[in-house]
Amino acid sequence: MPRVLVVGSINMDLIVRCSRVPKAGETIRGDDFVTAGGGKGANQAIAASRLGARTAFVGRVGEDEFGPKLRSDLDRDGVDTEALTTDPEAPSGVALILLEHGGHNRIVIMSGANGRLGEPDVRAARALLANTDIVLFQLEIPLSVVAEIAAAARASSVPSILDAGPATPAVVEAGLPALIDIISPNESEAEILTGIAVRDLSDAARAASRLHDMGSHDVVLKLGAQGAYWSGPGGELHLPGFPIEPVDTTAAGDAFTACLGVSIASGADMPEAIRSANAAGACACLTLGAQPSMPRRDELEAFLRNNAG
């Protein structure tokens, strides 16, 4: 069984479905409102566990009404929450999500306890690295924490993946790409990191080259409906996406990253791992909510069988 460590954010998602997002100064009526567990880190931890990995999570929730629910969601899906701390000095993270009928979303995040990860969390992650095959990071927690644990993983020969969202120029300034084995931005994140607008595969190749120059080993660029582009020491390849009618694109990238990590930790080569990750991302688009949409192993396998052409 592959062993995955996820270090990252955990939020309560507050989701309003609407026909379209309002313009500045405009008020519109929403269709309905739901809450669901979210946060890029927690999403990826639940996805990794559902896909068959033994998964541990390092993060923080607040001492509020959301904290116990967020913890129990992870526990229910078999994620080890021993290193999930309850912080009495900050609320749990929250994401406000406006979801349009076509599945596209607009998201505002309030970090709360996620922004307070520090040295105790670094120590917890270091202790877990000895029993880890791959570690997954995102950028909704302090960059210094990501950098410290990434350096520890590199020293321990544990491969790492950075889901580069939400990207900022500080990621480059901190030299983080050189500490990560696989960096996986989407188009907008790649532009923030490299200054190259990614509109087609040629742009994707140029952005990947720039990230290699920054020290990244492998670059897996998420291209939404167009699939993913990979560039690394083993070659380069565009793997097309799967045609679907999306219900909600929230956390599709998290399903992709988790599946990529689980597949690599299970011994898959990069093309095989990315094809599975594309399928996981597509599956996640078919269900409302972040964590509720994370696919299970049997769902992923059925999707791949049904889209084998």
DSSP for the chain, written as a single string = --EEEEE---EEEEEEEESSPPPTT-----SEEEEEEE-HHHHHHHHHHHTT-EEEEEEEEESSSHHHHHHHHHHHTT-B-TTEEEETTSPPEEEEEEEETTS-EEEEEE-GGGGG--HHHHHHHHHHHTT-SEEEE-SSS-HHHHHHHHHHHHHTT--EEEE--S--HHHHHTTGGGG-SEEE-BHHHHHHHHS----SHHHHHHHHHHHHHTT-SEEEEE-GGG-EEEEETTEEEEE-------S--TTHHHHHHHHHHHHHHTT--HHHHHHHHHHHHHHHTTSSSSGGGPPPHHHHHHHHHHT--
Confidence check: pLDDT of 309 > 80: no
From the list 213, 254, 269, 298, the catalytic residue is 254
Q: Residue range 270-291: average pLDDT?
A: 95
Model confidence at 248: pLDDT above 90 = no
pLDDT range class, residue 234, cuts 50, 70, 90:
confident
Residue 153 has pLDDT above 90, yes or no: yes
CATH class of 3-10+38-92+113-306: alpha beta
Q: So what's the pLDDT on residue 182? A: 98
pLDDT > 80? residue 89: yes
The predicted-structure confidence for 41-61, as pLDDT tens digits, reads as follows 999 999 999 999 999 999 999
Stretch 259-276: mean pLDDT: 98
Note the pLDDT of residue 64. Answer: 96
Per-residue pLDDT, averaged over 275-304, amounts to 95
Average of per-residue pLDDT values in the chain: 95
Quickly state the pLDDT bin for 132 (edges 50, 70, 90). Answer: very high
What is the per-residue pLDDT across 67-84, written as a single tens digit (0 to 9) for each? 999 999 999 999 999 999
What ranges do the domains of the chain cover? 3-10+38-92+113-306
**Is residue 195 scored above 80 in pLDDT?**
yes
Q: Judge whether residue 102 has pLDDT over 90.
A: no
Q: What is the mean pLDDT of residues 252-271?
A: 97
Looking at residues 267-271, what average pLDDT do you find? Answer: 97
Mean pLDDT over 37-43 rounds to 94
- For this structure, is 254 an active site residue? yes
pLDDT score at 207: 98
Mean pLDDT lowest among 101-110, 160-169, 272-281: 101-110
